Amino acid sequence: MPANDRALHPVNLPEHWSPGSWRQRRALQLPTYPDADELGRVQDELRALPPLVTSWEIQALKQQLAEAQEGKRFLLQGGDCAENFSDCTSEVVSNRLKVLLQMSLVLVHGLRLPVVRVGRFAGQYAKPRSADTETRGDITLPSYRGDMVNGPEFTASARIPDPRRMVKAHARSAMTMNFVRSLIDGGFADLHHPEYWDLGWVTHSPLADDYHRMVANIGDAVRFMETLSGSEVHNLNRVDFYTSHEALLLPYEEAQTRQVPRQWGWFNLSTHFPWIGMRTAALDGAHAEYFRGIRNPVAVKIGPSVEPDDLLRLVDLLNPDDEPGRLSLICRMGAAHVADRLPRLLEAVKRDGRRVLWICDPMHGNTEATSNGYKTRRFDNIRSEIEQSYDLHAAAGTRLGGVHLELTGEDVTECTGGARDLGEIDLERAYRSSVDPRLNYEQSLEIAMAIVRKQAQL
């Protein structure tokens, strides 16, 4: 255990914990694998494979999140609701990276703060479901739980949970990470060339002028600095990018939980920043037990039914030493409930003097069904939940430190509204999500612009 690490912020080793101690608790939302021996073999195989991320990257992200807690950075976390194995393509991965880079550029420029960029990718392959089974006609089958667990096709063979899918998810995650890292190292995120990030829409979007004006301003500023200093401004050709996913499938997460040389404790090396979903966040549940023992920065989704006392107990369990950067709370109340449900939580955590990063997920409390049978979200509700959150934080004397969004770089029509005012009828054109509706690239950028506008008014 390096002395300086512990000295910086003394953290105690979690007691009575091991990567498998979650097995003593009630585990919700986990599949039942028909062949336990095969599950064990897959876990052994995963334990032997190289990790997807490193402990020093994890520690660097924790430091950035600590700075976000102090208001020195803003977190942008976004990506698909669920990744699919078939979407692990050059185009889907690079377009998603482009839209996140464009959004972060808008945020850096408008908020005058460095942005912590975290993708919901390279592991977002397991999904919680409201029912264990799905019935069509007189046939009932296990629910689809994400490509890491079973297949979406409504057949008995596709729906049987197959542990080998975990190995495939690990490989797909590694390919995604590898491509993202190569793009970024190769200069894709170079501020001298923000045109590399342009998606096709820029020329015909109602937002194009705003975006291009901002890019031109940034280009001028970079050239000005370079003229002034007589040399190239370095570090503008590289950005940090981190990964996150809902660490739902505990046998997978357990197999990726490791000790590393010159660090104390255990790290989940399948992602930098795992989170606990709303449905599995019980204080005495298996997921909270697993999460309390790992050293990654962690997040929890907080829904409208959470009471202040429960939240404080959860904060205590997950961050007993009040370690900076360790804990983020992702609130997903819904535009109609946030004003009623959020303030009591903000006040309780503030009164207790606890250090957390408050993040707004304006997606999951705003899902509704249309008359033509689509699951959608209205752009105005998404924007409204973010704007209300800003006001509620201002009133409570706390700080909104980031947003958590479901988005894609593809030109889908899954959420209604936005600059092009998509209607319910437009959803038929390009609805591709297998789970929740995502903001398309244009709606995503518009959200980034709305955040900047809102902050400027405060």
Q: How many CA atoms lie within 13 A of 23 on its CB side?
A: 7
Contacts with ligand PEP by CB under 6 A: the residue count is: 10
Q: Which of 61, 81, 166, 400 binds ligand PEP (CB under 6 A)?
A: 81
Q: Which of 278, 345, 427, 448 binds ligand PEP (CB under 6 A)?
A: 278
Q: Is 53 in the site for Co ion (CB under 5 A)?
A: no
Residue 206 CB neighbour total at 10 angstroms: 13
Tell the smallest beta-carbon distance from residue 261 to ligand PEP (Å): 34
Tell the smallest beta-carbon distance from residue 146 to ligand PEP (Å): 10
CB 78 within 8 A of CB 407: yes
Instruction: Point out which span in 99-107, 167-175, 276-284, 287-295 binds ligand PEP (CB under 6 A).
Output: 276-284
* Apex 254 CA angle, 251 and 257, nearest 5: 155
Tell the smallest beta-carbon distance from residue 444 to ligand PEP (Å): 16
Instruction: Point out which span in 219-227, 274-282, 312-320, 394-402 binds ligand PEP (CB under 6 A).
Output: 274-282
The contact pattern for ligand PEP, residues 357-386, with x = CB under 6 A and - = no contact, is -------x----------------------
Q: Is 332 in the site for ligand PEP (CB under 6 A)?
A: yes
Q: Considering beta carbons, is residue 116 or 405 the nearer one to ligand PEP?
A: 405
Q: What does each C-alpha distance from 24 to 101, 140, 154, 275, 317 come to in angstroms?
A: 42, 30, 33, 20, 16
Tell the smallest beta-carbon distance from residue 248 to ligand PEP (Å): 9
Residues pairing with 285 in the sheet: 26
SS3 state at 442: helix
Q: Considering beta carbons, is residue 80 or 446 the nearer one to ligand PEP?
A: 80
Q: Which of 117, 245, 272, 301 binds ligand PEP (CB under 6 A)?
A: 301
Q: Which of 163, 277, 325, 362 binds ligand PEP (CB under 6 A)?
A: 277
Tell the smallest beta-carbon distance from residue 404 to Co ion (Å): 10
CB 359 within 8 A of CB 402: yes
d(CA 211, CA 202): 8
Q: Residue 161's closest CA among 249, 246, 290?
A: 249
Q: What does each C-alpha distance from 315 to 35, 133, 356, 414 come to in angstroms?
A: 36, 33, 8, 34
Longest dimension (CA), the chain: 74
Residue 345 burial class via C-beta count within 10 angstroms: exposed 0-12, middle 13-18, buried 19 and up: buried
Residue 301 partner contact from Co ion, ligand PEP, none using kind-dependent CB cut-offs of 5 to 8 Å: ligand PEP
Tell the smallest beta-carbon distance from residue 360 to ligand PEP (Å): 12
Residue 227 burial class via C-beta count within 10 angstroms: exposed 0-12, middle 13-18, buried 19 and up: exposed
Q: H or E segment at 330?
A: strand 327-331
Q: 422 to 451, contacts with Co ion by CB under 5 A?
A: 436
Q: Is 335 in the site for ligand PEP (CB under 6 A)?
A: no
Q: Considering beta carbons, is residue 128 or 343 the nearer one to ligand PEP?
A: 128
Q: Which of 52, 68, 75, 81 binds Co ion (CB under 5 A)?
A: 81
Residue ranges that bind ligand PEP, judged by CB under 6 A? 81, 128, 246, 277-279, 301, 332, 364, 436
Residues lying near Co ion in the complex (CB under 5 A) are found at 81, 436
